[in-house]
Amino acid sequence: MANAAVFFDRDGTLIEDPGYLNHPDQVKLLDGVAEALKELKLLDYRAIVVTNQSGVARGIVSEEMLGRIHDRLGELLARKGAALDGIYYCPYHPEGVIPKYRQDSDWRKPAPGMLLAAAEEMEIDLTRSWVIGDSLRDVEAGRRAGCRTILLQPANQEETGTDGPDYVAVNIREAANMIKKLHRSEQDDASTEDAGVEVESAADQEYSVTAIEAEELRIEPVQTESAPGVHDQGLADQDTPRLLTEILEQLKRMEKSQMFGEFSIMRLLAGIVQVFVVFCLLMALWSYMRSDGQITATHTALGFGVVLQTMALTFYIMQGRR
């Protein structure tokens, strides 16, 4: 299964935007960025940066320095327990002063080139992915790639048109919360659908088991009279589940009756007599220990014990012959 991802713009979204950032010391994380990345990672989203860096084409920053800037970004995130899964940047611009980079590119937002390249290299399902950025270029790139989009827009900034992003958030914390809420809602919907399939499957299985049990009992079909305008076979099909249910109930009652079938009056009497046998033997032992030479009471108790034991055995034998 393909991965889902959240694509982030860099300047003004993850870090402060001083305008053509060109040194690692200028990298400053915005509030809530590390926490948002960690929360989205728990939802199995890849975190990927896609950023236009025309400063390379303009001669303001080199690609080597850009690499150091991105290393600094990764270091600051790691200190807070967060991380990025990839960084894609476009160094080209048609008005650049460096000939190597003076060109247009389908990687430059609002073109979706960086997102498409990331999707191919990292096996990302763009339809399940998001783009978060602070400009309409980010939104347009996300829409053209097939992602859902969130525009970061401070509360005091003028609102965009209705045909802009899918959602608007004040900051990255709110954007992450939106994704979490929608993700859980979609999971709940999927769980409900799966549960419905499982219930239907269980019902089919129960009906199959019932049919097998009925076949083993060799149940004869019940003849019923057809109502006007109703086919006989249709009525039989309607009655079958009810008849099978009644058969199962009868089997359960038979099982319960067998469970208690061992109980009998004879066995009850034998048990009661057995208790008295033990009592008589205890009395005989007590009388013998306190005997002062007369052992009549002891003999009497022993005699009762023998008689009662014989009665108990008789009861058990009678029960066994039933």
Q: Which amino acid is at 137?
A: R
Contact 84, 77 (CB under 8 A): yes
Tell me the C-alpha distance between 180 and 165, whole Å: 18
Upper half-sphere CA count for residue 14 (Cβ side, 13 Å): 26
Active site residue 44: no
SS3 assignment, position 223: coil
Tell me the C-alpha distance between 175 and 169, whole Å: 5
Q: How far apart are the first and last CA of the chain?
A: 68
Tell me the C-alpha distance between 78 and 151, whole Å: 25
Helices (H), the chain: 33-42, 54-57, 63-79, 113-122, 136-145, 172-216, 232-259, 265-289, 296-320
Tell me the C-alpha distance between 63 and 96, whole Å: 14
Relative to beta strand 148-152, strand 45-52 is unpaired
* Active-site annotation holder among 9, 44, 106, 237: 9
Largest CA distance in the chain: 132
Nearest alpha-carbon partner for 216 in 208, 228, 204, 224: 208
Q: Which structure tokens are listed for 58?
A: 């303009």
Active site residue 11: yes
* Active-site annotation holder among 11, 106, 163, 292: 11
Backbone angles phi, psi at 261, to 5 degrees: -70, -20
Tell me the C-alpha distance between 150 and 167, whole Å: 5
User: Catalytic residue numbers?
Assistant: 9, 11
